[in-house]
Chain A
Amino acid sequence: MTTTINNRNLVVIQLAGANDPLNTVIPYADGHYYDFRPNVGIPTEQVIPIDGQFGFNPNMAPVKALWDEGKVAIVNGIGYPNPTRSHFRSMDIWHTCEPEKIATEGWLGRVIRDLDPRGQNVITGVNFGRGLPRSMGAPGVPVASVGNLETYGLFPDVEEERIRGLCLDAFGKMYGGTIQDSVMDYLGQTGRDALKGADILRTAPDRYASTVEYADNPIAQSLKNVAQVMCADLGTRVYYAQHGSFDTHGDEVKVHGGLWTQVSGAVSDFMADLEEHGKADDAIVLIWTEFGRRVKDNGSGTDHGSGGTAFIIGNPVAGGFYGQYPSLAEDDHLDGDLHWNNDFRSTYSTIAEQWLGLDPVNIVNGRFEQWDFLRK
């Protein structure tokens, strides 16, 4: 492998709204699955088998292809103690690694700070999409948040170059200096980061060409932008994108399947794009969701549960199952949910230490046993 620790990239994809693990990696040989899921169970003949026990959702063929190449690690039964069924609280917990109290620092914000302690590169972390995820927010840590890479920048419609230059100069000065007011200082930092990040990021699309054609949906476009920035070698290390909504209380089979068609296709195209640009050994993708869903369906969908599934995908990944698939037998449920059996902070710790070479303890707020899902 050609990779060195300083050019390793982490791409994080959030499946917002709580992806249903049972209809993603399907325990199709377990009669309980069909007993509990008379309405939203995926018929056995439609499941894409992985082995005699489990199979992928029918809309995940591209992920199955990556699995067959040994590039997909699946962490079953992932969760945290005393699971909450509130989306927002649970997302916060995953974002901040703080299950006990409300925290403001995101774990990826801490990763970015440790990767670039002096904040020398304002685009060490880049979010693709609208609004910064809490994962990436940490005081004093610059993060660029890019809606559309092609048009990213300030005052684009000022025609006269001299005036635009004066505007940019003035903007830099007006957003400079600290004033002991948290909101104004936050605005100042954000403005300075935006100014600097835009100058750098604007160059990425021009430096990119690819034979991969991404689909026209938000997650595919976000991953295309990730590839553009990664291939431009701008020093970005942490990339974030999200897709949803996976909150399938109703009409689950159709909605959930459609979403996975998009995610699977986007991830597969992204992997092909990295391969084409010689970056495939330098990146892993983490796909997470805030919690799982109830074992028993509610008619046409499923309510909030716990015990989810996470994916780690890429060339550097040692493919396979990690974590025990939670038992579906009723006696083993936790309040009607799959019983989680491994803490998500184990997965985060593994990535922080083994992939990015960082001390994971402060990043995830504690010491957690690590997995072997990365090739040594």
Chain B
Amino acid sequence: MSNADIALMAHLMRRAGFGASRDELEQRVNRGYANVVEDLLNPGAANAMPDDLIRRFHSDMAEMRELNSAGAYWMYRMVTTENPLEEKLALFWHSLFATGYSKLNQARALMNQIETFRRHALGDFRTMLIELSKDPAMIIWLDNNDNHKGDINENYGRELLELFSMGIGNYTEDDIKECARAFTGWTLGNVEYMSTRASRDSIWPYSRIAWHFEYRDYDHDDGEKTFLGQTGNFNGDDIVDIIVQQDATARFISTRLFQFFAADHVDDAGAAVISDMMATYFSSGYEIRAVLRTLFNSDYFKSNDARFARVKGPVELVVGAVRMAGTYQQPTFGADQLARHTMYMGQGIFQPPSVEGWHEGAEWIDSGALVERVNFVGKELGDPGNPGVQAIINRLARQADGPLSPDAQVDACVDLLGPLELRDSTRTSLSEFAAEQGPADLRADQRTDADEQRIANLLRLLTATREYQLA
């Protein structure tokens, strides 16, 4: 097993998942890169922390009424799943079809939406857009329940085109209105009943829970519509049919997947990969699984150009750190803090700044967010009591035949946390820090708490580097 194989697998797992421990990387390298890609694209049982266990310890996550309960519940799944790509994609779709708690006051509807994203994450984009259009949280979020025959509310129609499928510049204001007309009648079944109860009951928000999709023929505008140059008595699914056939849609979704999984910045080589992804999009019948297969198996993705070419988003940073530290594997007091921390870093789950989602790439970083990132990850990986940190220390101990010199400590930590690629000046600073701390003797009969703490301190500092902010 070569270092290059480990480094490539670490890259794939940072992108298609939330990073991986060295033990996991070794197992996956043995399976072979192409096989691992297929494993990720064809997930089996997730074996995430079971709902009944979560609910036994967190009654708030059984009711799922509140924001942080729902955020923490999802974090548990991201932290413990054996299908990391499934959760990573759910996060991708949440970023793209960004729906916020602020308007819904109802977290369960958002969790249901995420479950829909999970179910269709790797399927065809047409089905995804149809299901999105029927999703109760989305209907409320973008007001399609107020979109009536003869009295349109164009919010969903506009964002479906601008933010969810084609991007601005590929349609006219008239197309938006026609799109909105086609989605009249796509509403919630019991919204009047729910709103009567909401106005009568003072106990918020129990009365809002039972949202479900309903199509109302009598409130649907069945008249002729002209949308993107085609004319007919279009309904919402006809509109989606037209949308998914557009080059603009293929480019939009391929580019967004590329930027989320491969590189923040699209250079010429990246543009060529996006062209290949677009071709796959059409040849596969708009299948996301096939489009991602093209991406992950591309020479570009495997090359150095794509390594560390993305700024880690807050959720992937936090989940990655927690998985590496081996914490929160069991119900843990204060788990709701996990969701709060990603919010402090600028990515509150279910709290996108707008329906546009989050500005990604370098825009994740400002001085406030950087402080939060460094402090959170440092606390997880700077504690020698955490299982993942123990695992790293024990691994070092097995390789050691004497006290580890400061430089050897740096080499080992850089390797086991990534391997990471550090600039010389970063490495020098780490070596100086390690030298100030002194050698660490990790052999079982020699080891003291101070020896372990030295390694943990070094891991903490390593996660504070610029390089660690990149995926």
What residues make up the interface of A, taking CB atoms closer than 8 Å to B? Answer: 16-17, 85-89, 127, 130-132, 137, 142-148, 152-158, 163, 166-167, 170-171, 173-177, 179, 182-184, 186-188, 190-191, 193-194, 197-198, 244-245, 247, 249-250, 298-301, 303-304
| A-B contacts besides A167-B460, A190-B370, 5 pairs, CB < 8 Å | A143-B366, A174-B429, A183-B361, A188-B466, A250-B145
Closest CB-CB distance, B212 to chain A, in whole Å? 18
A145–B345 alpha-carbon span in the complex (Å): 11
> How many B residues are at the interface, by size bracket?
35 or more
Contact residue among A17, A130, A153, A298 (Cβ-Cβ distance under 8 Å from B151)? A298
Provide 13 A-B residue pairs closer than 8 Å at the C-beta atoms, listed in order of the A residue.
A130-B345, A145-B366, A145-B367, A157-B375, A166-B437, A170-B461, A171-B461, A171-B464, A183-B311, A183-B470, A187-B362, A298-B143, A298-B151
Known A167-B433, A186-B362, A191-B466; judge A131-B369 contact (CB<8 A). Answer: yes
A145–B465 alpha-carbon span in the complex (Å): 19
Known A155-B378, A174-B425; judge A145-B155 contact (CB<8 A). Answer: no
Instruction: Establish whether residues B367 and A87, one from each chain, have CB atoms under 8 Å apart when the complex forms.
Output: no
B398 at the interface (CB under 8 A from A): no
B362-406 Cβ-contact flags toward A at 8 Å (1 or 0): 100111111110110011001000000000000000000000000
A87 cross-chain contacts in B, Cβ below 8 A:
354-356
Instruction: Establish whether residues B367 and A130, one from each chain, have CB atoms under 8 Å apart when the complex forms.
Output: no
A90–B154 alpha-carbon span in the complex (Å): 17
Closest CB-CB distance, B83 to chain A, in whole Å? 30
Closest CB-CB distance, B187 to chain A, in whole Å? 12
A194 cross-chain contacts in B, Cβ below 8 A:
367-368, 370-371
Instruction: Establish whether residues A166 and B436, one from each chain, have CB atoms under 8 Å apart when the complex forms.
Output: yes
Known A131-B353, A132-B368, A187-B365; judge A300-B146 contact (CB<8 A). Answer: yes
Closest CB-CB distance, B79 to chain A, in whole Å? 21
B344 cross-chain contacts in A, Cβ below 8 A:
130, 147-148
B99 at the interface (CB under 8 A from A): no
A299–B311 alpha-carbon span in the complex (Å): 43
Identify the closest chain A residue to B358 (Cβ): A131
B447 cross-chain contacts in A, Cβ below 8 A:
none
B470 cross-chain contacts in A, Cβ below 8 A:
183
Identify the closest chain B residue to A157 (Cβ): B379
Instruction: Establish whether residues B379 and A154, one from each chain, have CB atoms under 8 Å apart when the complex forms.
Output: no
Instruction: Establish whether residues B429 and A170, one from each chain, have CB atoms under 8 Å apart when the complex forms.
Output: yes
A107–B378 alpha-carbon span in the complex (Å): 35
Closest CB-CB distance, B383 to chain A, in whole Å? 9
Closest CB-CB distance, A114 to chain B, in whole Å? 20
Identify the closest chain B residue to A131 (Cβ): B346
A301–B168 alpha-carbon span in the complex (Å): 25
Identify the closest chain B residue to A179 (Cβ): B423
Main SS class of interface, A: loop
Identify the closest chain A residue to B348 (Cβ): A130
A166 cross-chain contacts in B, Cβ below 8 A:
433, 436-437
Instruction: Establish whether residues A170 and B432, one from each chain, have CB atoms under 8 Å apart when the complex forms.
Output: yes
Instruction: Establish whether residues B146 and A249, one from each chain, have CB atoms under 8 Å apart when the complex forms.
Output: yes
Contact residue among A86, A146, A250 (Cβ-Cβ distance under 8 Å from B143)? A250
Identify the closest chain A residue to B467 (Cβ): A184
A275–B354 alpha-carbon span in the complex (Å): 35
Instruction: Establish whether residues A298 and B365, one from each chain, have CB atoms under 8 Å apart when the complex forms.
Output: no
B162 at the interface (CB under 8 A from A): yes
A85–B371 alpha-carbon span in the complex (Å): 35
A154 cross-chain contacts in B, Cβ below 8 A:
371, 374-375, 464
Instruction: Establish whether residues A86 and B162, one from each chain, have CB atoms under 8 Å apart when the complex forms.
Output: yes
A193–B368 alpha-carbon span in the complex (Å): 10
B418-460 Cβ-contact flags toward A at 8 Å (1 or 0): 0000010110111011001100000000000000000001001
B4-35 Cβ-contact flags toward A at 8 Å (1 or 0): 00000000000000000000000000000000
Identify the closest chain B residue to A142 (Cβ): B367
Instruction: Establish whether residues B153 and A132, one from each chain, have CB atoms under 8 Å apart when the complex forms.
Output: no
Known A86-B168, A174-B464; judge A299-B354 contact (CB<8 A). Answer: no
B409 at the interface (CB under 8 A from A): no
Instruction: Establish whether residues B371 and A301, one from each chain, have CB atoms under 8 Å apart when the complex forms.
Output: no
B327 at the interface (CB under 8 A from A): no
List B residues 319-374 near A (Cβ within 8 Å). Answer: 343-346, 348, 353-356, 361-362, 365-372, 374
B162 cross-chain contacts in A, Cβ below 8 A:
86
A186 cross-chain contacts in B, Cβ below 8 A:
362, 365
B354 cross-chain contacts in A, Cβ below 8 A:
16-17, 87-88, 245, 247
B80 at the interface (CB under 8 A from A): no
Closest CB-CB distance, B202 to chain A, in whole Å? 14
B119 at the interface (CB under 8 A from A): no
Instruction: Establish whether residues A174 and B367, one from each chain, have CB atoms under 8 Å apart when the complex forms.
Output: no
Interface centre among A87, A131, A245 (most CB of B within 10 A): A131
Known A87-B354, A245-B103; judge A193-B153 contact (CB<8 A). Answer: no
Instruction: Establish whether residues A299 and B146, one from each chain, have CB atoms under 8 Å apart when the complex forms.
Output: yes
Contact residue among B143, B353, B362, B437 (Cβ-Cβ distance under 8 Å from A249)? B143
Known A155-B374, A157-B379, A173-B425; judge A130-B143 contact (CB<8 A). Answer: no
B348 cross-chain contacts in A, Cβ below 8 A:
130
B466 cross-chain contacts in A, Cβ below 8 A:
174-175, 184, 187-188, 191
A194–B346 alpha-carbon span in the complex (Å): 16
B42 at the interface (CB under 8 A from A): no
Known A86-B162, A177-B425; judge A147-B372 contact (CB<8 A). Answer: yes
B113 at the interface (CB under 8 A from A): no
Instruction: Establish whether residues A170 and B367, one from each chain, have CB atoms under 8 Å apart when the complex forms.
Output: no
Known A86-B168, A299-B151; judge A145-B369 contact (CB<8 A). Answer: yes
Give the top 8 A-B pairs by smallest Cβ distance, nearest first.
A145-B368, A132-B366, A194-B367, A249-B143, A131-B346, A187-B466, A145-B366, A173-B429
A144–B151 alpha-carbon span in the complex (Å): 46
Known A86-B168, A170-B430, A303-B154; judge A153-B425 contact (CB<8 A). Answer: no
A156–B372 alpha-carbon span in the complex (Å): 11
A132 cross-chain contacts in B, Cβ below 8 A:
366-368
B190 at the interface (CB under 8 A from A): no
A130 cross-chain contacts in B, Cβ below 8 A:
343-346, 348, 368-369
Contact residue among B361, B366, B375, B430 (Cβ-Cβ distance under 8 Å from A131)? B366
A156–B466 alpha-carbon span in the complex (Å): 19
Contact residue among A142, A155, A170, A249 (Cβ-Cβ distance under 8 Å from B153)? A249
A175–B365 alpha-carbon span in the complex (Å): 14
